[in-house]
Amino acid sequence: MTEDEARLLAKLERAVAEDGGMTTLADVVAAIREGRAQFWQQGDTVAVTEMLRYPRGLALRHWLAAGSIHEGCALLPAIEDWARERGARRAEALGRKGWARLARRHGYAPRATLYVKEL
């Protein structure tokens, strides 16, 4: 593994740690290798997406991201074009409330709030 790959994996591992213990880095890497998730990179920024099949269409889910917010935003057009080419009708992202203003600037509107209770 190159030094660059190790650095990117470390960033991704930090993003996974924010996922609340529902995923490991190995899970994410397996999903990417198996084609169930997509890996994106822009400079020092990494992102992982997945396609969700709903009964009436496909949606792109922004799953994990780590790095520069500006580089992450620069990735959005390519990610969204890729999803459209595969038939996605919308893109979804879960994030904390602090992302709302930035999300709106890129055409994302809040639909719901996710509440979680650990069991």
Q: What is the pLDDT of residue 18?
A: 84
Instruction: Output the CA torsion sign for 29, 35, 37, 41.
Output: positive
pLDDT above 90: residue 38: yes
Q: What is the pLDDT of residue 34?
A: 97
This prediction's pTM? 0.88
Q: What is the pLDDT of residue 119?
A: 78
Query: DSSP strand E in the chain: where?
Result: 38-42, 45-54, 57-66, 88-93
Instruction: Give me the domains of the chain, ranges plus CATH numbers.
Output: 3-105 (3.40.630.30)
pLDDT (tens digit per residue) in 57-116: 999 999 999 999 999 999 999 999 999 999 999 999 988 787 888 889 999 998 887 777
Q: What is the pLDDT of residue 64?
A: 93
Q: What is the pLDDT of residue 2?
A: 82
pLDDT (tens digit per residue) in 2-34: 887 788 888 889 889 887 888 999 999 999 999
